[in-house]
Chains A and B, each alone.
Chain A
Amino acid sequence: MNKSQHKQALLRLGDDALILGQRLGEWCGHAPALEEDIALTNIALDLIGQTQSYLSLAGSLNKNDTQTDDQLAFHRIERDFQNLLLVEQPNGDFGDTIVRQFLFDYYALFRAEHIASQTFDLDAAAIAAKAIKEIRYHADHSSKWVIRLGDGTDESHSRVQKSLEKLWKFTGEMFTVDEIDIAGAASGLLPDLDSIKTKWDSAINAVLKDATLQRPEDGWMQKGGRFGIHTESFGFLLAEMQSLPRAYPDATW
């Protein structure tokens, strides 16, 4: 894996966490219950922490052109972000947010378990090892909510089933192999996506069964995030996230 591919692999890890953290931050002050407000924002902060680590590492790889995590987060344009389309989907209702989290968390967990155990990039391994503890909690939180909502009232069940069907088309991208994944797997840094998919399927299916929810049929899958082609709402997300640093580029805390 060459330096540029290595950097892109790390950017993907950082961008997934950054954009999902940004989306969850939008819930601050608006969640259905005080306790859930704190839970969602805690998850957002965990993700932003992972972002800082991965983006700092990505930015330090090329010694002739280093970038800080802030520069990468706040001064790249849409086409340069490599997050999954799943994580940029709008928050919608609480069910949409929880299902988005649930589908992502198990992918993130199995991916982090691999990265924590590889030796190609020990810095990434350390970041992933710390992230695993956080992600395990996120996955537990989101799957318990999927079960409560799915095996809940008629209304909660039908709403969360709808969320599942709306978001299912974004799950294919998580397991789509491209040049970065091939190079990453060859070097050991990134996992074999087929084996991640197997673990993900079995984790997801177990929860959906307890939740009495119907797993949607695999249809056409949306793709593009991994190579910089994003959905419409991504522009608004970036505008909000980047407007302050772009207006005051020299500002410091």
Chain B
Amino acid sequence: MSDTKNNWPLWEVFIRSKQGLGHKHVGSLHASDAEMAIGNARDVYTRRQEGVSIWVVPAESISASSPKDSEALFDPANDKVYRHPTFFVLPDEVNHM
């Protein structure tokens, strides 16, 4: 969707919940500047105690992988079991990780 000069820029919103470790993408909104974007994100995306921290990023700053490249990007990892740390036997003293 192109943003004409009549539309506010689009921002992507990431929220970290109280118990969470990382900010998760929750949606997007329009705002004229970063301050308004944070205020709007607070109003739209944290009404039900969803989070304690907000990140907003202009949508145009985000680069995403293309779906048509998914095979080449992700399939090769499927059958490389040696990359997973599952063969190492932990000593008893640290075996409760």
Contacts and interface: CB of A to CB of B under 8 A. Distances in A.
A39 B40 contact: yes
Contact of B36 (A38, A42, A137, A144): A144
Contacts of B44: 34-35, 38
B47 A33 contact: no
Contact of B8 (A33, A39, A42): A33
Interface string B1-45: 000000010000000000000000000011110011001101110
Interface in A33-74: 33-36, 38-39, 42
B39 A39 contact: yes
Interface string A130-145: 0000000100110010
B30 A33 contact: yes
Contacts of B36: 144, 148
B49 to A, nearest CB: 14
Contact of A42 (B31, B35, B43): B43
B47 A42 contact: yes
B47 A35 contact: no
Given A33-B8, A38-B44, A144 B30 contact: no
**Majority secondary structure, A binding face:** helix
B13 to A, nearest CB: 11
Given A35-B44, A42-B47, A144 B39 contact: yes
Given A33-B30, A35-B30, A42-B47, A144 B35 contact: yes
Given A42-B43, A144-B36, 8 more contacts: A33-B30, A35-B29, A35-B44, A36-B40, A39-B39, A42-B47, A137-B42, A140-B39
26 contacts: A33-B8, A33-B30, A34-B29, A35-B29, A35-B30, A35-B31, A35-B40, A35-B43, A35-B44, A36-B40, A38-B40, A38-B43, A38-B44, A38-B47, A39-B39, A39-B40, A39-B43, A42-B43, A42-B47, A137-B42, A140-B39, A144-B35, A144-B36, A144-B39, A148-B32, A148-B36
Interface of B: 8, 29-32, 35-36, 39-40, 42-44, 47
